[in-house]
C-alpha cells in the first residue's frame, strides 16, 4: 500500500530551525533533529522565515515550521 493511502492520524509539532547558511539548511536542521527522536515524519510546512543582520550582512536564518508525523500502531512501532 502506498504510504499516502488509507486512514492515518497525524500529530503536528512546531519547531524552529536555524542556520548561518540559508533557509534550506535551517529546514534540514529542524527535520534532522526531529528525526532523531520521532518516527514516521511525513511532511513539513514553513510558517515563517526570519533572520538576523549584523554589520550589514545576513548573520543567520531562522525558519519556523510545522512537522507532521503519523501516529503509529504498536505493530508499526516495533518494526
Q: Where are the domains of the chain?
A: 10-72
pLDDT in tens, the chain (79 residues): 345 556 788 999 999 999 999 999 999 999 999 999 998 899 999 999 999 999 999 999 999 999 999 987 777 777 6
Residue-level pLDDT at 7: 77
Fold observed for domain 10-72: Dodecin subunit-like (3.30.1660)
pTM: 0.80
Give 36's strand partners: none
pLDDT of residue 29: 97
Amino acid at each position: 500500500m502506498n504510504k499516502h493511502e488509507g486512514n492515518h492520524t497525524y500529530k503536528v509539532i512546531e519547531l524552529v530551525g536555524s542556520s548561518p547558511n540559508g533557509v534550506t539548511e535551517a529546514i534540514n536542521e529542524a527535520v534532522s533533529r526531529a528525526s532523531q527522536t520521532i518516527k514516521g515524519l511525513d511532511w513539513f510546512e514553513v510558517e515563517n522565515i526570519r533572520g538576523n543582520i549584523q554589520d550589514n550582512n545576513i548573520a543567520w536564518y531562522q525558519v519556523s515550521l510545522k512537522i507532521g508525523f503519523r501516529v503509529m500502531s504498536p505493530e508499526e512501532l516495533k518494526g
